[in-house]
A and B are shown apart, each in its own frame.
Chain A
Amino acid sequence: MPVAEGAGRLDAFEFPPLAENNAVGQAGQALWTRVNDQLGDSVRNSVFWTATILLNRAQMQLAALASLKSNWDTYGASAPNQVALDNGVRLLEHMTPIELSVLNIVPSAEGGVGFCFAVGNRYADIESSNEGDILGVKYVGTDMPVLIETDGSDASIEAALEQVRTHISA
């Protein structure tokens, strides 16, 4: 998926560069380095900024799927439509940094968007379909998969994500 270089990364913040012909020379460069490092530390150590950047990255990945064309999988799959993308935005709004930090957003071959989580031998996903359904699955290794169902309401989306959170954190 085409996503802007560096966008949404925790280390993508940088203090504005110092002009090469600045009046204070080496001292200015040293100050710039120190302030820039402090800015980086502040961002990395901030729960707020971490969550904001992870959400921003996920939103950009989701937005990139809007440009997919039908037959993107070479087997005739539909591109994600606006219904799937809008429900995808709702899903992202309910996610915490725990899910966002291991989230992969992919197109679904059945038409829609897949929000996938794979940690070790644990896997879970929630699909937002072009028909408006939101349905997921979870499993460990080769154990029988278990459905994660929703009725599309905010409460059921929150409950589904809680299942994902518990599953991938176990």
Chain B
Amino acid sequence: MRNRPDRMRRNGRADDQTFGAPERLFRRYTRLHYINGQFSNTGFSFDSPPSVTREKYSEAQDVIFSEADEFANWGVLSFRVADLPTSFPPENPLIRFFPRHVPMEDNFAHSEVWSDAIPATGGYVKPSKQTRKLFRALLSQRCVVEIIATA
């Protein structure tokens, strides 16, 4: 059994909705979706707000931490807050994407990528399948591998 790093525990801390543009957002990936040096957007889902782990309160390896070591062979990729378009798609902006800090007791850095309509509703608005597909592809072009997957 491995020990969870203290930085991952919430320990009564309040959520922090201030994200800097250069801040990285981490996510697990499997080698299947890394094809000839390119990450396939089929490895991303925006069917609901996807979970990420924010750099401000974590390190890349925290994403594959588990007491039971169940993510041992997974990789970690990142994209930056600045990579989330604030108006999308460019030619007919309908949606904006933004990070939201959703801390968990055992993972304070846990966050989600949300989307809202333009003009804003203040809630979560699910993009159309076409918009999601374009956005997933855009993000896959910009993501960077932090830890290489071996499975």
* Chain A contacts with B in 68-114, Cβ cutoff 8 A: 73-75, 77, 104, 106-111, 114
Q: Which of B28, B40, B70, B129 has the most chain A CB atoms closer than 10 A to its own CB?
A: B40
Q: Given A73-B43, A75-B28, A142-B142, does the pair A106, B33 have CB atoms closer than 8 Å?
A: yes
- Chain B hits for A77, CB < 8 A: 45
Q: Which of A1, A110, A119 has the most chain B CB atoms closer than 10 A to its own CB?
A: A110
Contact of A114 among B42, B90, B130 (CB under 8 A): B42
CA distance A81 to B115 in the complex (A): 27
Q: How many residues of B contact A (CB 8 A)?
A: 33
> Which of B2-10, B15-23, B117-125, B132-140 is found at the contact surface with chain A?
B132-140
Is B35 part of the contact surface with A, judged by Cβ < 8 Å? yes
Interchain residue pairs with CB less than 8 A apart (8):
A106-B35, A111-B45, A116-B42, A118-B36, A118-B38, A119-B36, A127-B42, A145-B138
Which residues of A are in contact with B by a Cβ distance under 8 Å? Answer: 1, 73-75, 77, 104, 106-111, 114, 116, 118-119, 121, 123, 125, 127, 129, 133, 135-137, 139, 141-142, 144-145, 147, 149
